[in-house]
Structure 1
Amino acid sequence: MGLWNIRRWTKPKARTGRRYPTPLSAHQLWMVSLSAPVSRDHDASRTTLYPFTRIDDDSARSWLAEQWEITSRAELVDRLDDLSRSGYRARAQRLLGVAPLAWDAALYADITRRGFAAGLITEADAWTALKNIVPSVVSAYGSWQEYADHYLLGRKVWRDGLEAAQDPSPPAPQAVADAHLRALLDPANRASPWNLAPWDAISRPDRAR
């Protein structure tokens, strides 16, 4: 008599669009797009406030705890405050004389979105947090290209610091980040949020998409 291997059936996770069906406005998509450089995973959503294409609150909670030691609203707020005030760009300023805000802004937006998914902040709180970083970013850069250049500079300084400290879990090679940024900046890439929300969109009146 043969034995059957029975796999436990699990209900597929709901797609993000079913929980949040209303498309983002132009300003909202622009703010979400600040995190596009760090949203490389296949399950990442780049056109919704929720960071994944399918609802997965547990993954957001696990990632925040493992990568940032964030398990509470207070810890999330403290980390966002640090990234907005100085973040990793302070080290770059000491080493290079340049403070790449884009690196910290991308992390700030990414953590905000995951904090929302993890239930540490409300949707309204998340939008408020993203709005708070906009003036600094707009005053520092004039295009997504400039933003991308400084993001890559900040990432390199961060990565070099990890290598110097002999971190046991090295990040993805710089070439991977370079390729991802090229795809985001490619004018022929219709899926790029940077093409869907051009840089100057945040300086024009908001509109529905």
Structure 2
Amino acid sequence: MSGGMLVQALWKMAFGPSAKKRYPAPLTTHQRWMVSLDAILAERSWGRSHLMLYPLKRINPTNCQVGLKQSWDVTSPESLQSTLHWLATEGHRVQMAPTLGRPPLAWDYDRYVTVVRLGFGAGYVDEAGAWQLLASTAAPVAQTYGSWQAFAEDFVAGRDLWMRGAGSEWAGSQDDTVQAVRRLLDPTNPTSPWLQAPWESIYQPDQVPVR
């Protein structure tokens, strides 16, 4: 990315159109729960949003496209669907299961939701399609874990194992992830999406929360 493009991207991240104003409709309790599966990665990334389908606080399709290309080699609707299929059916958890004694579903499904949200922000999937993709995550995750803490612990375990082969450029980022989890689980943190979308809400009838 050239210097001019970088400045433009940073400007949009700080001063671009507000995503909340672009998408003002409140999410249902189930929708809030589904997007909150991405909360760990969103919490440790500047400019990311919580409790919204759109992944950024400011509208910036270029930023979403660059993030998908750099981290996932996703550059089109087709490669988005291919990556999501891999995360949903195999991911890293199949190879990790013998070491951990279980497949860390949270590690793959947190990132699945991240990729869906970025794909929506990048324009590779429309809003209805994004919600359909996210809906497929609810049952397997809700059947595997019983709390946000259990989900987070498995995500951290999977990420720790992944980092052993990720390279030195990721050194220190595990501590950032652990700190993000602590903030999300902190019962005194009013901004935590996990407090606003309790784990048990996915087992209850869906409804639009009262503002």
TM-score (norm 2): 0.89
Structure 1 equivalent of residue 3 of structure 2: none
Deviations 1:85-104 (A, max 9, x none): 11011121132222110010
Deviations 1:12-37 (A, max 9, x none): 31111111011111111100000001
- Does 2:187 align with 1:184? no
TM-score (norm 1): 0.90
Structure 2 equivalent of residue 20 of structure 1: 23
Deviations 1:27-60 (A, max 9, x none): 1110000000111222110111000011011000
SS in 2 for 1:148: helix
Structure 1 equivalent of residue 122 of structure 2: 118
Q: Which residues in structure 2 correspond to 1:152-167 (within 5 Å)?
A: 152-162=156-166, 167=167
Q: Percent identity?
A: 38
Structure 1 equivalent of residue 62 of structure 2: 58
2-structure distance, mates of 1:96, 1:178: 18
Aligned residues: 197
1-structure distance, mates of 2:57, 2:170: 26
Deviations 1:118-150 (A, max 9, x none): 000000010000001111101100000100110
Structure 2 vs 1, CA of residues 175 and 14 (structure 1 numbering), >3 Å: closer, same or farther? same
Structure 2 equivalent of residue 3 of structure 1: none
Matched letter for residue 45 of structure 1: S
* Structure 2 unpaired stretches of 5+: 1-7
1-structure distance, mates of 2:79, 2:113: 15
* Structure 1 unpaired stretches of 5+: 1-7
Structure 2 equivalent of residue 77 of structure 1: 81
CA shift for structure 1 position 171: 5.4
2-structure distance, mates of 1:53, 1:72: 23
Q: Aligned-pair RMSD on alpha carbons?
A: 1.5
Matched letter for residue 183 of structure 2: A
* Aligned counterpart in structure 2 of residue 35 of structure 1, from 35, 38, 52: 38
Structure 2 equivalent of residue 97 of structure 1: 101
2-structure distance, mates of 1:90, 1:171: 24
Structure 1 segments (4+ residues) deviating >4 Å = none
Larger radius of gyration: 1
SS in 2 for 1:111: helix
CA shift for structure 1 position 173: 2.7
Deviations 1:129-178 (A, max 9, x none): 0001111101100000100110000100110121xxxx363254321111
